[in-house]
Chain A
Amino acid sequence: MKTKMLLAGVTAGVMFAGSVLASTLDDVRARGKLNCIINTGLAGFAAPDDKGNWTGFDVDFCKAVAAATLGDASKVNYTTATGKTRFTKLAAGEGEILSRNTTWTFSRDVDLSQTFIGVNYYDGQGFMVPKSLGVKSAKELDGASVCIQTGTTTELNLAEYFKGNNIKYNPVPIETNAEAQELYKAGRCDVYTTDASGLYATMMSFDNPSDHMVLPEIVSKEPLGPVVRHGDDQWADIVSWVLRAMMAAEEKGITSKNVKELAAKDNKDKEINRLLGKDPLQGLSKLGLSPDWAVNVISQVGNYQESFEKHLFPLTIKRGMNALYRDGGLHYIPPIK
């Protein structure tokens, strides 16, 4: 509650300061650091490692944008946000990117004046229960207490799904994933519901992951992706093409290991040449990026596959919908030409 009041204050404060509309890229370069808004803690996506450095799939994307714009993936300031505070923080200018497993919906895109620049993870809402409960399907959950992260699309999905199936339930709203885990473990709720990726991440952090299971029902579409503010198309283009470059690199077999080597030679596949700055890429100067932008991203952060395997495979998450189109997934990248 306090944070929200504070945020309203901060929003107002930033607004009073007057927003002179300089380009976001200039702001970032002048500061020498990218401000990135991430999750308060979700294993695999954004969580501090044992040395206290933020790491994860969403964090990698912040690093990739810093590598493309500043040439150095480490030049990122991280700001954490709960499901509730994230949009206010982005609107108030506390970060240039919101990279916090955020679902792309119509009203968030249109009504909240922000731009979703693409999908970096196709997800869906699921349910986790202790195996001891003996439940095999979400349809058997009549009367259950359900822990739910507040301020997310999940609470709307949940209400719609249970109403549609005529199931009564008792919602227990929680602010962060960490608190929700505690209540779930203490038995305050029978079920924990959030995006399936989050459920796997949460389950792996338990002492006995095998005592819990994710029910087969996926009740919603949750295309997750990075978000920027409305109004700076150059910045939106930069961020979206960084994401596409990472996926294109996977498609073309460019990895952090071989990127320097491929960038140095003339490749048969001219798309690799254009991506890595060997051949000119028309329009790049309009984005204000140097020709080696993609080399920086791939050498310092890796391609989409590398980031996915590094952070999400340990959670037993499979590529599934998140494979490239040629492998039966949904990621289809516009050509780099």
Chain B
Amino acid sequence: MTFFSNIWRNEKSREIIVQIIVLFFLGWFISWLVMNVNANFEALGKDISFEFLFIPAGYDINQYLIDYDSRDSHLRAGIVGLLNTGLVAFFGIILATVLGIALGIIRLSKNWLASKIAYWYVEFTRNVPILLHILLWHGIIINTLPHPRKAISLGDITFLSNRGFYIPKPLAESGIELVYLFLVVAIIFSILFAKFCKRKQDLTGIQYPVFWINFSVICFLPLIAFFISGMPVSLEIPALKGFNFRGGMHMSPELAALTFALGIYTAAFIAEIVRAGILAIDKGQREAAESIGLKPSKVMNLVILPQARRVIIPPLTSQYLNLTKNSSLAIAIGYMDLVATLGGISLNQTGREMETMLIVMLIYLSVSLSISALMNWYNSKVKLVGR
């Protein structure tokens, strides 16, 4: 008996015992849930099977980044949906980041009007549910823009209508390889030049306008190649045929509404995160930077933002994750994302709700974990390095 009471009195072993007991009950609870689901599925005459993934889906999807046809499998329909989710998340994250950082900085500006506008933007936007943002933008696009037959035309090559936005599509012709080659050369040159300038500055303190030189090189070198090889790009201009425009590149009103809504909504949160990050930097840093004569833009870019980044990145990661997960509200306006295809129509046509939901949840989980991993990697790169 003394042996057991000794174990119990020892703090370390007691902790372990308690944890084992908790773990046991947790495991028991989970296996009970799983067994119950299985038993009840059996009672309902349903089995768990993933064979439905390989039968033809039978429905059409209005936006696909890889080839898709109604004869393709449910699995492929799910992948098409996943890519659509990825597309809207990608555009949304770019819009939210650019807008959010700009607003966060403007919010701290000494200009009263600019700072108040940013303030009201943040307050209005983040206090309205995201679903309403999505419906609002969709409603605006569909109800204010004209029918394709009366589409707003910009120079007869770009068109705005309530069926979406159409822009000309560049088509590569033979000879385009030279342009690609020059582009690669320009990029390699820029990287080397940037490294060279950094070393030069470290050694001598002489600064070159690196950005502008590289920018010009990357823009003009391929442009020169473009003219040398006789302009090997033709434009496919969208044209009204029958009911809709055909040809060119098309952005559907659903994709546009979703991108705007997600980007604008998340930007409000990012603005606050950026503001908090900047305010977290001791004002002595700014004063010190100003006192050695740095311009305000340099103060921000060289002193404040690099330090603020460490504070900003972890909450920014959550915002990116939120945006990606919020994109699953796409079904409200008929954007065919993962939830609408595999978790929606496939679920419905096959009646496999448990299986499809499991797959959709696992996919969202892995997408979120990947974004998280990427941001953690970036965070570890920018965090304070002890010297």
Measuring CB to CB, which residues of chain A are less than 8 angstroms from any residue of chain B?
A: 1-2, 4-5, 7-8, 11-12, 15-16, 18-19, 21, 83-84, 87-88, 91, 107-108, 111-113, 133, 141-145, 150-151, 155-156, 158-160, 162-163, 169-175, 183, 186-188, 190, 230-231
Contact = CB atoms under 8 A, between A and B. Distances in A.
Nearest to A153: B349
| Top-6 shortest CB links A-B | A15-B40, A159-B70, A151-B348, A112-B351, A144-B243, A143-B242
B119 interface: no
Contact of A11 (B242, B343, B353): B353
Interface residues of B, number: 46
Contacts of A2: 329
Contact of A171 (B36, B60, B142, B242): B60
Contacts of A15: 36-37, 40-41, 44
B8 interface: no
Given A143-B246, A183-B142, A113 B46 contact: yes
B46 A171 contact: no
Interface in B344-366: 344-345, 347-351, 353-354, 357
Contacts of A142: 242
Given A15-B37, A111-B351, A163-B70, A171 B344 contact: no
A156 B332 CA distance: 21
A193 B242 CA distance: 19
Given A1-B340, A173-B336, 14 more contacts: A1-B331, A1-B332, A15-B40, A15-B41, A84-B344, A108-B351, A113-B44, A133-B243, A143-B246, A145-B163, A155-B59, A156-B349, A175-B331, A186-B143
Given A1-B329, A15-B40, A143-B241, A172 B334 contact: yes
A171 B61 CA distance: 7
Nearest to A84: B348
Contacts of B331: 1, 175
A144 B242 contact: yes
Contacts of B209: none
Contact of B344 (A4, A87, A160, A170): A4
Contacts of A170: 62, 163, 244
20 contacts: A4-B339, A4-B347, A7-B353, A15-B40, A16-B36, A16-B37, A16-B40, A18-B40, A19-B40, A84-B347, A112-B351, A133-B243, A143-B243, A155-B60, A170-B62, A171-B62, A172-B334, A186-B142, A186-B143, A188-B163
